[in-house]
Amino acid sequence: MGSKELPEPREILRAWMPFKRLVGVTSVRTKKDYARARATIDALLDEVGDDENHPLAEVLDYFANQVKAYEDENVRIPEGEPHEVLRFLMEQHGLKQEDLADCAPQGRISDILSGKRAISKAVAKALARRFHVHADVLL
């Protein structure tokens, strides 16, 4: 790629600053950044869903990577039974059972949290996507 094909840094800045003002956070360094990025991810998940071809899918991936980097440094997922790990993740993200309706029905989440039901592979994948963790921690 020739240098003439690359945008000038000033052009990048002109595109970046409005984006940064709009979303309120572009890198996750503090708890406040983390909370804002998580809220942005939730909003994007509602819009994008599983559609990897959605125009906002790359923005979702960008924020997911920012959050993952922050979590890797600042959030330790305890080892434990899958239902305990799920409870921990829900507490960390300030979520209730009904907030996970995109992953499984509330009754199933309730049964999982009480230890009455194991987490299926399909639900583990959905939860892993939601919390940006490996499904293995939920199985």
- Predicted confidence (pLDDT) per residue in 111-128, tens digit: 999 999 999 999 999 998
Q: Stretch 99-104: mean pLDDT, rounded?
A: 94
Same domain, 18 and 70: yes
Same domain, 88 and 120: yes
Same domain, 55 and 92: no
Q: In terms of pTM, does the model score above 0.75?
A: no
Q: For the chain, what is the domain count? A: 2
Same domain, 107 and 136: yes
Quickly tell me which residue has 């939601």 as its tokens: 130
Residue 8 in 3-state DSSP? coil
Same domain, 28 and 53: yes
> What pLDDT, in 10s, does the model give residues 32-88?
998 899 889 888 988 988 788 999 999 999 998 998 899 888 877 777 899 999 999
State both tokens at 136. 């293995």
Q: Work out the number of other CB atoms within 10 angstroms of the CB of residue 7.
A: 10
**Domain region containing 119:** 78-139
What amino acid occupies position 8? E
Same domain, 51 and 71: yes
Residue 3 within a domain: no
Cα–Cα distance for residue pair 9/14, rounded to 1 Å: 9
- Predicted local confidence at residue 131, as pLDDT: 86
- Residue positions counted in the chain: 139
Give the residue among 60, 49, 59, 77 at the shortest CA–CA distance from 134: 77
Same domain, 36 and 49: yes
CA–CA–CA angle 16, 21, 26 (5° rounding):
65
- Select from 32, 47, 75 the last residue of a domain: 75
Using CA atoms, how far residue 79 sits from 49, 114, 122, 129, 133, in Å, is 29, 17, 21, 19, 13
- Whether residue 20 is predicted with pLDDT greater than 60 in this model: the reply is yes
- Whether residue 2 is predicted with pLDDT greater than 60 in this model: the reply is no
Residue 1's H or E segment, with its range, is none
Residue 4 within a domain: no
State both tokens at 68. 């993952």
Cα–Cα distance for residue pair 84/77, rounded to 1 Å: 10
Give the residue among 137, 136, 129 at the shortest CA–CA distance from 68: 129
The counts of H helices and E strands in the chain are: 6, 0
- Whether residue 3 is predicted with pLDDT greater than 80 in this model: the reply is no
